[in-house]
Amino acid sequence: MAPAEHPRMSDVAERAGVSLSTVSRALRGAPGVAPAVRENVLRAAAELSYVVSRGASSLVTGRTGRIAVLVPFLQPWFFGVALAGMNTRLRAAELDMLVYQVGDVEELDGYVRSLPLRSNVDCVVAVSLDLDEGEIKQLDELGLPVVFCSQRVEGRPSVFIDNTGAARGATQHLLNLGHTRIAYIHTRDQTGFSWSSQERRRGYEQAMAEAGAEPFVVSERPGHDGGALAMGRLLSVSHPPTAVFAESDDVAMGALRVLRRSRLEIPEAISVIGFDGSDFAELLDLTTVAQPVFEMGVRAAELAADIVETGRPSTAQVELPTTLLVRQSTAAPRRSRNLTVRAAPHS
Amino acid sequence: MAPAEHPRMSDVAERAGVSLSTVSRALRGAPGVAPAVRENVLRAAAELSYVVSRGASSLVTGRTGRIAVLVPFLQPWFFGVALAGMNTRLRAAELDMLVYQVGDVEELDGYVRSLPLRSNVDCVVAVSLDLDEGEIKQLDELGLPVVFCSQRVEGRPSVFIDNTGAARGATQHLLNLGHTRIAYIHTRDQTGFSWSSQERRRGYEQAMAEAGAEPFVVSERPGHDGGALAMGRLLSVSHPPTAVFAESDDVAMGALRVLRRSRLEIPEAISVIGFDGSDFAELLDLTTVAQPVFEMGVRAAELAADIVETGRPSTAQVELPTTLLVRQSTAAPRRSRNLTVRAAPHS
DNA sequence: CTGTTAGCGCGTTCAG
DNA sequence: CTGAACGCGCTAACAG
């Protein structure tokens, strides 16, 4: 490793028979270099398989060519897709992507305090961090521009969907099918990351109110487990719902598992709708509200790239559309249906 | 942005009333600083919310404090979990994680040629890239140490599982249950990333050979779709298998979808086993071979951190254990079972 | 159009 | 134990 010292710019200059600054200009595509000379330099660089050291150049330009992406989790489908979207767009902008998992607000605080980002990246993209105003202000202490992805923040560059409207639409779908006893599964954990969840809940409540139906919200912890627990609770009340709207596909899948194990047919016994449009929803024929996650990543990266390239702050608000994907997990309720219809002889 | 210029080390020095180099030593935890002085410096730095510029320091130390992670995909469960594992361990080592998606060998080639990594990271971790020798050699041209995660490479630091052994165990499980007509679903695409797939297939074939059973391999494209297509083919032969071993949970899920839509009960009509131990396998009660993906990430990051810290190349081979998770998708075959038993009156 | 001269912010000698 | 000089590899003003 050590024997093969990397070539420096002066090596290229020597080989091409020009000066250092000419090499710099040529490699950078800066104007003011004769085409022939430029070609010479490029060839010399290629022959030495030379690459400019970003560290050195950013020391003088002040730009690092890197952006940081902050995500609350790395594992869920959503974040993989979002990162893939960003990756695509960032590559086009020749920006590298630093990924940090910030599990909770406390950790975010730690990050901001230790500031490992400052002078290390040009911009940070916060994905689904669902921060409140105070936390956003904290991020400012980094002294870096911040782009919000999957969260709408007024006055800040952000890419988002209309959670409330989409949730209202999903609820309306169930109402239109003839359901009236529609439950909403909502999650919340201690860390306090739950903005979009709140917005979706609001959309559900609006639609229910407009229809004159009684809202019925159960709150559990996030993830499959929460969905399973919530479904268990819903199946234990005296008058169970005929349809369930889960805050996310993840949560819906937990609910589906419980229904399957209870031998309750979907959608005959109960309709289920999720949110996200994950590919697992497709596998399970789950009706869901799809959001364009990949494109959200792309657009967020685009905003970041713009900010880095122009050096100007931005307040762009990018709202992306959602799509209701109706599949086999939702259908009209059976007339005067009762969940116990199969098991109860006295039906 | 511009008004809030970041403080420099000299600012800290001035505030603490010491010289530049003393600040450097103090901040770095280097020996040769009086405790009282160090504390002073630390306080001054905190008050200015100062952080050393990695760019500047790496210019002189030659270390960037960054590692690059190369993944073929960002979206699948596997990679999210692996990245999460790395993230954990890298944070402990105070290394930042640059993530690059390299979809196929061609793209990898592009990366290696444009060398955006050189002098930009200290080490690269290749996750599940399933490279052949030539491609590995190509990576060497980066002039950087490479750690392999989820691929065994002799003489190189690598973290992996025993794919062959695990696949043999899974096949043995089915054989022990009494199955003899066991199919294997194998995937392959044009890009040529398929090492572990080959290894698993070999394990399957070994177990079948030992049992004197006839191997039956169908090959399709990767992902859910491939699994679905493969299952379709398996259901269309004259004597369908009573059990299916899918190369991965992803593929198994595609197969499951086809079975569900065909109204074939699992495991009554057909047993299915996957590979990976994804949490979706759990949701679907899919028997699977679990691999410790998170830990693979952790261990790979550890190898990388070691190499960076010691500066010495490594040839560590870390083999991690797999676990067969028996769930409800596998069971003994029905005596003289026939897939058409329910539909065929002449049974 | 090209070369020369200064630093960018820090770590590392080496004297004190 | 501390400070002053030098240089890491590169870009940005200038001068030619």
| Cα of B54 to nearest chain A Cα, Å | 7
3-state helix, strand, coil in chain B (%, to 5): 45, 15, 40
Q: Is the CB of B33 under 7 A from strand D?
A: yes
Q: Is the N-terminal amide bond of A267 cis, ω within 30° of 0?
A: yes
The end-to-end CA distance of chain A, in Å, is 79
The pLDDT, as a whole number, for residue A337 is: 45
Of A66, A115, A283, the CB nearest to B257: A283
Question: Cα(B120)–Cα(B63) distance, rounded to whole angstroms?
Answer: 9
B39: left (phi over 0), alpha (psi -120 to 50) or beta: alpha
**Which CATH superfamily hosts domain A66-161+293-321?**
Response regulator (3.40.50.2300)
Instruction: Report CA(B41)–C1'(C11) in Å, whole number.
Output: 17
Q: Picking from A91-105, A214-228, B29-43, B160-174, which range would have the lowest pLDDT averaged per residue? A: B29-43
CA angle B291, B295, B299 (to 5 degrees): 125
Question: Cα(A86)–Cα(B260) distance, rounded to whole angstroms?
Answer: 35
Tell me the pTM.
0.90
- Where on strand D do bases come within 7 A of a protein Cβ? 1-5, 7-13
Check CB contact under 8 Å for B80 and A64.
no
Q: Is the CB of A20 under 7 A from strand D?
A: yes
Res B2 pLDDT > 60: no
**Two domains, one topology: A9-61 and A66-161+293-321:** no
Check CB contact under 8 Å for A55 and B87.
no
- Find all residues with CB under 8 Å of A109, minimum gap 6, and list them: A138
Res B182 pLDDT > 90: yes
User: Is A200:A275 a contact under the CB 8 Å cutoff?
Assistant: yes
For domain A163-291, which CATH number applies: 3.40.50.300, 3.40.50.2300, 3.30.1330.120, 3.90.550.10? Answer: 3.40.50.2300
pLDDT band at A346 (very low <50, low <70, confident <90, very high): very low
Res B118 pLDDT > 80: no
Fold classification of A9-61 (topology level): 434 Repressor (Amino-terminal Domain) (1.10.260)
Measured between beta carbons, the chain A residues lying within 8 angstroms of B143 are: 1, 4, 6
Res B147 pLDDT > 90: yes
Residue A290, SS3?
strand
Check CB contact under 8 Å for B83 and A73.
no
Question: Cα(B163)–Cα(B68) distance, rounded to whole angstroms?
Answer: 26
Res B192 pLDDT > 60: no
Structural domain spans, chain A: 9-61, 66-161+293-321, 163-291
- Find all residues with CB under 8 Å of A149, minimum gap 6, and list them: A82, A125, A126, A127, A128, A158, A159, A160, A296, A297, A299, A300
Give the phi and the psi of residue B2 in degrees, each rounded to 5. -65, -35
pLDDT band at A340 (very low <50, low <70, confident <90, very high): very low
The pLDDT, as a whole number, for residue B114 is: 66
Q: Is the CB of A341 under 7 A from strand D?
A: no
Res A347 pLDDT > 80: no
Higher per-residue confidence, B192 vs A150: A150
- Assigned token pair, B284: 């679907």
The pLDDT, as a whole number, for residue A115 is: 60
Residue B290, SS3?
strand
Report the 10 Å Cβ neighbour count for B92.
11
**Beta bridge partners of residue A184, listed in sequence order:** A217, A245
Check CB contact under 8 Å for A87 and B99.
yes
pLDDT band at B157 (very low <50, low <70, confident <90, very high): very high
Residue B27, SS3?
helix
pLDDT in tens, A290-318: 999 999 999 999 999 999 988 888 999 99
In chain A, what percentage of residues exceed pLDDT 90? Answer: 58
Res A288 pLDDT > 80: yes
The end-to-end CA distance of chain B, in Å, is 79
- Mean pLDDT to the nearest integer, B58-65: 87
In chain A, what percentage of residues exceed pLDDT 70? Answer: 92
Res B340 pLDDT > 70: no
Question: Cα(A162)–Cα(B181) distance, rounded to whole angstroms?
Answer: 51
The pLDDT, as a whole number, for residue B341 is: 38
The pLDDT, as a whole number, for residue B171 is: 98
Q: Is the CB of A61 under 7 A from strand D?
A: yes
- Mean pLDDT to the nearest integer, B8-19: 86
Check CB contact under 8 Å for A1 and B143.
yes
